[in-house]
Amino acid sequence: MDESAGYRYFEDVNWGLLRLWNGRRGLDVLDVGCGFAATSERIAQLDNRVVGVEASADAVAVARTRLAEVVQLDLQQFDDVERAIGGRRFDVIILADVLEHLAWPTGVLRKYTSLLKDDGVMLISLPNVGLWSVRLSLAFGSFQYDDTGVLDRTHLRFFTRSSARAMIDDAGLESLRRTYNPGLVRPFVPLAKKLLAGGDGDPAALLNSTPYRIYLKVIYPIERLMARLWPGALAFQMIFEARRKR
């Protein structure tokens, strides 16, 4: 793994999270680690009041065209984030595909839980290291990081369904609902991004491509049905809705 190489971030939409969102409107939402806000933009379009937190200046510049308010801070600087949002509390806090990048995700999750309203919920999305492609690689003695996916080279923590549930429990939360994004063809996404992104560095290149649209319309629904048979090995992302324990 070349640790000196630049890291290219590609936009994607967390369709499973939006499915779990289920059209809710009129809520105060905090998207922690919002990136380019490709997912939370769709939540904001449902008349929800979304505040994003993001450290990357490049991502913030794009997110601010999609969300009414974006705070440029490292999400681990919790006290600074809390001051920046002025003591507000939220109906929903989203931590989508960020906890795996942190050395101590449980503590961070616990801190952000304090920003929930009394009846608020967390939406937590995590990659599934039990995905079939990772299992197959390990069976042949291989563990190789990549520029994206479950073994993204910026990931510090890895989760299965059971360890994800354990983290949520340790953070003082109880899981209410869960869903998955399928992973049958997801291991081939890094190759697709290299082929489709070209040399211009456009992070939306894959998301806006015709093959991706065809995939969403034709292949993704079939993948979802198949992943339900064995989500522990066929799901790429695990998305949980959780609330404080009562």
> What's the half-sphere exposure (Cβ side, CA atoms, 13 Å) at 124?
31
Residue 175 has pLDDT above 80, yes or no: yes
- What sign does the dihedral 211-44-201-183 (CA atoms) show? negative
Q: Can you give the pTM of this predicted structure?
A: 0.89
8 within a domain of the structure (yes/no): no
The pLDDT of 176-203, averaged and rounded, is: 72
**Whole-angstrom distance, CA of residue 238 vs CA of residue 74:** 24
134 within a domain of the structure (yes/no): yes
The pLDDT of 80-100, averaged and rounded, is: 96
Give the number of domains in the chain. 1
Which residue range forms the structural domain that includes residue 96? Answer: 15-244
User: So what's the pLDDT on residue 149?
Assistant: 83
User: So what's the pLDDT on residue 205?
Assistant: 66
Residue 180 has pLDDT above 90, yes or no: yes
Q: Which residues pair with 239 in a beta bridge?
A: 125, 179
Instruction: Report strand pairing: 235-244 vs 173-182.
Output: antiparallel
CATH assignment at residue 63: 3.40.50.150
Token digits of residue 43: 């939540």
192 pLDDT band, cuts 50/70/90, is: low
User: So what's the pLDDT on residue 1?
Assistant: 46
pLDDT single digits (tens) 110-145: 999 999 999 999 999 999 999 999 999 999 999 988
The pLDDT of 64-78, averaged and rounded, is: 97
The pLDDT of 181-202, averaged and rounded, is: 67
Place of tokens 């002025």: 86
Query: Quick one: how far is CA 144 from the chain centroid?
Result: 21
**Whole-angstrom distance, CA of residue 182 vs CA of residue 129:** 13
Which carries the bigger pLDDT value, residue 5 or residue 62? 62
5 within a domain of the structure (yes/no): no
218 pLDDT band, cuts 50/70/90, is: confident
3 within a domain of the structure (yes/no): no
Lowest mean pLDDT among 39-43, 81-85, 162-166, 221-225: 221-225
7 within a domain of the structure (yes/no): no
29 pLDDT band, cuts 50/70/90, is: very high
2 within a domain of the structure (yes/no): no
Residue 220 has pLDDT above 60, yes or no: yes
pLDDT single digits (tens) 140-156: 999 988 877 898 889 99
In this structure, which amino acid lies at residue 50?
V
The three-point CA angle 41-44-45 to 5° equals 90
Given a contact cutoff of 8 angstroms between Cβ atoms, the answer to whether 180 and 127 are in contact is no
189 pLDDT band, cuts 50/70/90, is: low
231 within a domain of the structure (yes/no): yes
End-to-end CA distance of the chain: 44
Given a contact cutoff of 8 angstroms between Cβ atoms, the answer to whether 90 and 29 are in contact is yes
Q: What angle, 0 to 180 degrees and rounded to 10, lies between the N-to-C axes of helices 105-113 and 161-170?
A: 50
Residue 188 has pLDDT above 90, yes or no: no
6 within a domain of the structure (yes/no): no
Q: In the predicted model, what is the mean pLDDT of the chain?
A: 89
Q: Which residues pair with 242 in a beta bridge?
A: 122, 175
The pLDDT of 49-61, averaged and rounded, is: 96
